[in-house]
Every structure is written in C-alpha cells, then in structure tokens.
C-alpha cells in the first residue's frame, strides 16, 4: 500500500488529505481505528524519538506526544514506591515497557491528556492496562501481544487508533514538504546522539554521573523532535519538563522549569495525602492536583468547590511551603536545542535543581553563561550541535 486517504487535514475544512509514498509501500499497518493527519504527525515524530532513545540507552523507551511535541518521554527504569504513587500505577504489574510509559505519561499529566503514544518495543499487556486507564488518542509500536491488542481495541468504544510500524524501515536521506505552494527540501536530521556528545566540558566541574548521562541523552533526543525553540529538563530516566515552541530562550527555560517544578511538587506529602473521592475520574484528579499546588486553590476553598473532589477538606499548601519544598530538588539535567544566550537561563534552571547541562554553545556571551554555571557548581558541556525542529 503506497497511499492512505485521511478524513481531513489539520482542520475539518482542509480536504482532501492523505499520506503516501512514491517509491515503496507505507511502513505501517492500521490494526484498529482511523488515524488522522495530526495523529500521523505525532506518530512518526514520536516513533523516531523512542527508536533513538532505545538505540542510545539500550533501554525500552516511550513517549507521550501532543500537537507534534512530546509532553513526556522516558526509558524503562524500575519505579520506586513513590514514583508508582505519583504516576498512579500502584495497582499495576509493571514490565520495563510499562515503566517507560508510566514515566512518560507522568512527566506532564495535564499536557498528556488525549496523547499519542509511541513505544520502542512490543506493547505488552502490562503497558496496555495502563493505557486503558488514560485518555489517549492512539499508539504506534513495532508489535503488540495478542492480549495487549485486545485491551487497546476496546478503548474509545472500539475506535482507538493502533498503528504497527516496521521497525526496520529507513526513510530516504532527503525529505521534502510544501509550504504555500513552495517545495522545501533538506537532508534528514540523522545526527546520532550518544555519550560521545557529552565530553566537551567547559565548566570547572568536568564530569557527569552515569545517571545524568542517561538523562541528558533523553533531554537531547527529546529536543530533536520538539518544536523549537525548546529546552528540556530530565531526571531519573525521564523528561520532567519541556518548554516547546517559544520565541525566547528564557521563556523556554521558564516554561520547562515550571513544569519540572509541578512534577516535583506532586511528590510533597500534602499532595500524596490528598483524600480523593473513590469515583473521581483520572483527568479530574490531575486537574485538581494542578489547582491544589497553585495559588488558585484559595479560590477553590472560598467557593467550597473542594467538596466535589475530596472526602475531607485538604489543608492549604502555602506559597512559602511550596518554595521551601522546591529548594530540596536536585540532580536535574537540562538540554537546550540551541545556545543559551545569557546567564539568566542558568539562574532559572538552578531554581529547579539543575546540576547538569548540555547545550550547543556558540553565544557571544558564552563566558557569562559558563561563569554563571561555575558560580553554582553546575557541570556543562558544549555539544556543538544545534537541534532545531520545525
């Protein structure tokens, strides 16, 4: 099959719509559902991400995509009891693949609502059970066990999109696309990201622990498939904050840092001890937690809305308590798809516990950026490689 007709393009008024190849068959099989234009954009970008993560780390990888950028990505490291709790998978059996997706989904649960999922390896029943509980649009993977496929086909009243991709498919080295009737052509970004990119230390601290090397590879590979400008925070084998598609580098750093802060605030004992009603929907619980760890919660208390979600009135989580908790965050890695132009990015990243950085370098103010890292004992490498993606 060289062509697949789609319902419409990015919007219902954009017809006709299709995906097609001219020289070979499409490397996909639709096992269930009817994927659309944006589904395929998410599917093909996310598949490349997880495939490269698996190649770089040797670990199964998963990604949670929304609107052609990752909300989360992770590798299949085991989850601690705390990580199981904050990712809401305490009741599940967890294979390495399931651990990878639980982490990817847990990076930014608000943004992952209605995500498109990519898995680097076979989707097993353990992973499918987690997906079945979440609001998701579809999945792409190289294979599915019979049990997993049966579970996934039951989602969305039988309409859940399930795509199988040929894991050995290699696209042509030159890619094209049309914009405003003009054809653009460029060589595919086949830059290999691995540990060899993490050796050019420019700071006083000249080493990364092995865990940070994995996190930095996750951050850089994630950035390779994130709409630019972008900055990515990672820790413990997973993305914890992505700042995608911003015009300013400092806004990327702030946006991603704020998401990393939310990820960490969810681990505070006040959040862990919230008494939700047993029948609360997972998205409602995620939204409520997001409000609880923000200044908006005072309005919720004043309006008595808390009774809709909790069995007992939660204590106020004050701004002062939140700031004190965030000061205990450490061991975070940051990647940037282009150079940091000023030290203000380092100042913001440090507030979210960043200790390790990988960025291309090349700013006329590199000396200021390096000095700021040295002031806080942050280790930084220049990769020499920009990772813009549009």
Looking at the domain 3-170, which fold is it? Cytidine Deaminase; domain 2 (3.40.140)
Q: What angle do CA 356, 360, 364 make, to 5 degrees?
A: 110
Which residue's entry shows tokens 């691995």?
194
Q: What predicted TM-score, i.e. pTM, was given to this entire model?
A: 0.96
Q: Which of 84, 91, 121 is nearest to 106 (CA)?
A: 84
Looking at residue 328, the DSSP 8-state letter turns out to be: T
User: Rounded to whole angstroms, what are the CA distances from 229 to 34, 253, 255, 347?
Assistant: 32, 10, 11, 19
Q: What is the pLDDT of residues 260-292, one digit of tens each?
A: 999 999 999 999 999 999 999 999 999 999 999
SS3 assignment, position 158:
helix
Q: If you average pLDDT over every residue of the chain, what do you get?
A: 95
**Do 3-170 and 175-265+326-382 show the same overall fold?**
yes
Q: Which of 377, 238, 214, 221 is nearest to 230 (CA)?
A: 221
Q: Which residues pair with 183 in a beta bridge?
A: 178
Model pLDDT, residue 88 = 94
Domain boundaries, the chain: 3-170, 175-265+326-382, 269-316
Which of 182-191, 230-239, 295-304, 305-314 is the least confident region?
Answer: 295-304
Query: Average pLDDT of 226-238?
Result: 97
Q: Above 90 in pLDDT, residue 156?
A: yes
Token pair, residue 270, equals 């006040």
Which of 15-24, 140-149, 323-332, 379-388 is the least confident region?
Answer: 15-24
Token pair, residue 3, equals 């062509």
Give me the CATH code for the 175-265+326-382 domain, please. 3.40.140.20
Q: What angle do CA 118, 120, 123 make, to 5 degrees?
A: 75
Tell me the pLDDT band of 10, cut-offs 50, 70 and 90: very high
Query: Average pLDDT of 236-253?
Result: 96
Query: Average pLDDT of 103-128?
Result: 97
Catalytic residues: 66-67, 229, 390
- Length of the chain as a residue count: 390
SS3 assignment, position 100:
helix
Q: What is the pLDDT of residues 116-126, one digit of tens each?
A: 999 999 999 99
Q: Above 80 in pLDDT, residue 334?
A: yes
Q: Above 80 in pLDDT, residue 301?
A: no
Q: What is the pLDDT of residues 49-69, one digit of tens each?
A: 999 999 999 999 999 999 999
Model pLDDT, residue 234 = 98
Token pair, residue 73, equals 């990505």
Model pLDDT, residue 309 = 87
What does the alpha-carbon distance between residue 200 and residue 8 come to, in Å, rounded to a whole number?
47
Q: Which residues pair with 66 in a beta bridge?
A: 69
User: Rounded to whole angstroms, what are the CA distances from 293 to 1, 62, 108, 242, 349?
Assistant: 50, 27, 14, 19, 20
Model pLDDT, residue 182 = 96
Q: Which stretches within 107-248 are classed as H helix?
A: 125-133, 146-153, 210-224
Tell me the pLDDT band of 302, cut-offs 50, 70 and 90: low
Q: Above 80 in pLDDT, residue 305?
A: no
């Amino acid at each position: 099959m060289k062509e697949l007709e789609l319902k419409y393009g990015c919007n219902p008024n954009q017809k006709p719509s299709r995906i097609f190849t001219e020289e070979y068959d499409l490397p996909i099989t639709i096992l269930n559902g009817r994927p659309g234009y944006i589904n395929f954009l998410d599917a093909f970008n996310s598949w490349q991400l997880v495939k490269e993560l698996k190649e770089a780390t040797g670990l199964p990888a998963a990604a949670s995509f929304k609107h052609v950028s990752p909300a989360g990505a992770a590798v299949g490291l085991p989850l601690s009891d705390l990580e199981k709790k904050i990712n809401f998978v305490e009741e599940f059996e967890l294979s390495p693949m399931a651990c990878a997706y639980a982490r990817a989904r847990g990076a930014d649960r608000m943004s992952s609502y209605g995500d498109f999922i990519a898995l680097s390896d076979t989707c097993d029943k353990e992973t499918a059970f987690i997906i079945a509980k979440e609001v998701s649009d579809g999945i792409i993977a190289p294979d599915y066990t019979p049990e997993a496929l049966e579970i996934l086909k039951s989602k969305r009243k039988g309409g859940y999109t399930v795509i199988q991709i040929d894991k050995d498919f290699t696209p042509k080295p030159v890619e094209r696309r049309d914009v405003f009737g003009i054809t653009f052509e460029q060589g595919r970004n086949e830059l290999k990201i691995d540990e060899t990119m993490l050796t050019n230390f420019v700071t006083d601290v000249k080493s990364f622990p092995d865990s940070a090397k994995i996190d930095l590879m996750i951050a850089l590979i994630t950035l390779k498939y994130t709409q630019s400008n972008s900055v990515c925070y990672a820790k413990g084998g997973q993305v914890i904050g992505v700042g995608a598609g911003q015009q300013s580098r400092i806004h990327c750093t702030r946006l991603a840092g704020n998401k990393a802060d939310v990820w960490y605030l969810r681990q505070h004992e006040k959040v862990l001890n919230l008494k939700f009603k047993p029948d609360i929907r997972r998205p409602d619980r995620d939204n409520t937690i997001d409000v609880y760890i923000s200044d908006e919660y005072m309005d919720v208390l004043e309006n008595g809305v808390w009774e809709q979600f909790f069995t007992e009135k939660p204590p106020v989580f004050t701004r002062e308590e939140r700031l004190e908790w965030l000061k205990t965050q450490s061991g975070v890695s940051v990647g940037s798809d282009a150079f940091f132009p000023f030290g203000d990015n380092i100042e913001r990243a440090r507030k979210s516990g960043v200790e390790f950085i990988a960025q291309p370098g090349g700013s006329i103010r590199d000396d200021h950026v390096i000095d700021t890292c040295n002031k806080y004992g942050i280790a930084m490498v220049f990769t020499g490689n920009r990772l813009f993606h549009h």
